[in-house]
Amino acid sequence: MNLRNLSRRSFLKTTTAVAGISPLISLLAPTESRQTAGPLIAYVGTFSSPLRDTLPTQVDLPPGNGRGIDVFMVDRTTGAMTPSGIVELGTSPSSLVLNAAGTRLYSANETDRVGEDKQGTASAFVVNRTNGRLGLLNTVRTGGAGPTYVSVHPGGRHLLVANYFGGSVAVLPILGDGRLGEASDVKLDDGTIGSTRAMHAPPGSFAVSGHDRTHAHMIQADPSGRFVLHADLGLDTIFIWRFDDQRGALDPNDPPSVSLPPGDGPRHFHFHPNGRWFYSIQEEGSTIVLFDYDSRLGRLTTRQTISTLPAGFAGSNFCSEILVSGDGRYVYAGNRLHDSIGIFSVGSDGRLTYVGEEWTRGDYPRSFSFDPTGRFFYCCNQRADAIAVFRVDRATGGLSFSGQYVAVGNPSSIVFVDLA
């Protein structure tokens, strides 16, 4: 397969309100020795309408087809997903993350209807290590509206939250039993709102999404945990914080941020496994920016900007997810409207080279993830109400459709826990 010539066209021509949850009575410990591998479980976060409320959830269109967090058993050989249950949530648990041990799951509930100050929430769940079922531990407010991203700090004692509609980030303590405490720190994004015209937009693009106000879109610690970075799409800025693990607090770094081109809209980012290269994807500019990362000082230095789209593309596109392969050889970029995954090889200096693209077999790829082995690639096609499953060619970085579609209403994120 020549990935440079691969396209969708050529392919086609040739082929906090919580309901219905019963907390677990006890957490079952894993067996010490197993004769066969235990289950591989996938959890899928969705956009879901309120179960007991007629008010619309404030999410991307079309809202509300999901029912909460879908649970699947995953076939390790074929990548097939079999439904195993649903944790019903009417608060759009659109972002999920597991702790390092795979014993707790956390969700960002993208709502703005909690309390007089209209906050969103985050929920903590216990993972049954025998069958992967979830039991609700608790739900807390996140200090801002519409939390759209959660990550666990490497120290394991704090959950980091980006409140998209609130334009803020928060630190939530993780208590000894995995429950969440009230926010130990909340930071409001501040700065000048970027242009409604992205500097690097493709010709003819009308892609304008978040340049009306501040929009914190992602937050994650660096591999050491000493620094925390978060992207604000509306400010075209990536903020850098020094993290105090004892206080659960964010302190501005020096310098405190790095700017992206006006209007381009940084959305998500991913560190290379070597910790020295940092890739940011811009939602409205349809670009990936490579930064050198100084882990000693927590500083980012721009080195390359490359389009996520094939040469000659014109029109509107909204980028979504960015993912570096586990071996660090390839970078994958999500294109919504174009509905493709851009594939890039990583050079010896971290610079990217466009390799090709793969059609997502659906509408509006919001996020994607590898299974724990890196052999399968799962794409959440939000507006198609389905996840498409691909095989990964580790030698070329290419993706080949497995023929499997998994029906899920408005899938937004997918994470895996290996119970072996």
pLDDT tens digits along 338-362 = 999 999 999 999 999 999 999 999 9
Tokens of 78: 């074929």
339 is a domain residue: yes
**Local confidence band at 60 (pLDDT 50, 70, 90 cut-offs):** low
Domain of residue 328, residue span: 3-37+105-410
Residue 3 has phi, psi (to 5 degrees) of -65, -25
Q: What are the residues whose beta carbons fall under 8 Å from the beta carbon of 32, sequence distance 6 or more?
A: none
In the predicted model, what is the mean pLDDT of the chain? 90
392 is a domain residue: yes
289 strand-pairing partners: 280, 305
- Residue 255: asked if its preceding bond is cis (omega within 30°), the reply is yes
Residue of 167, 172, 135 whose CA lies nearest to 153: 172
Number of domains in the chain: 1
Residue 115: predicted pLDDT: 78
Q: What are the residues whose beta carbons fall under 8 Å from the beta carbon of 147, sequence distance 6 or more?
A: 95, 108, 109, 110, 120, 121, 122, 161, 162, 163, 164, 166, 170
The residue written with tokens 């700065």 in the block is: 191
Question: What CATH number is associated with residue 128?
Answer: 2.130.10.10
**Local confidence band at 51 (pLDDT 50, 70, 90 cut-offs):** low
CB 391 within 8 A of CB 402: yes
CB 200 within 8 A of CB 305: yes
**Local confidence band at 5 (pLDDT 50, 70, 90 cut-offs):** very low
Give this prediction's pTM. Answer: 0.90
**Residue type, position 412, single letter:** S
pLDDT tens digits along 395-412 = 999 999 999 999 999 999
In the chain, the percentage of residues whose pLDDT exceeds 90 is 84
pLDDT tens digits along 62-108 = 568 999 999 999 999 999 999 999 999 999 999 999 999 999 999 99
Q: What are the residues whose beta carbons fall under 8 Å from the beta carbon of 303, sequence distance 6 or more?
A: 290, 291, 292, 350, 351
CB 93 within 8 A of CB 69: yes
Residue 118: predicted pLDDT: 86
Task: Kindly tell me the burial class for residue 196, based on how many C-beta atoms sit within 10 Å of its own C-beta (0-12, 13-18, 19 or more).
Answer: middle
**Local confidence band at 370 (pLDDT 50, 70, 90 cut-offs):** very high
Residue 112: predicted pLDDT: 86
287 is a domain residue: yes
> Distance (Å, rounded) from C-alpha 200 to C-alpha 211?
15
Mean pLDDT across the stretch 196-224?
95
- DSSP annotation of 382 reads G
pLDDT tens digits along 6-46 = 444 443 433 333 333 333 333 333 333 344 578 999 999 99
Mean pLDDT across the stretch 310-326?
97
Number of Cβ within 10 Å of residue 38's Cβ equals 16
CB 91 within 8 A of CB 17: yes
In the chain, the percentage of residues whose pLDDT exceeds 70 is 88
Residue 174 has phi, psi (to 5 degrees) of -100, 115
pLDDT tens digits along 145-189 = 999 999 999 999 999 999 999 999 999 999 999 999 999 999 999
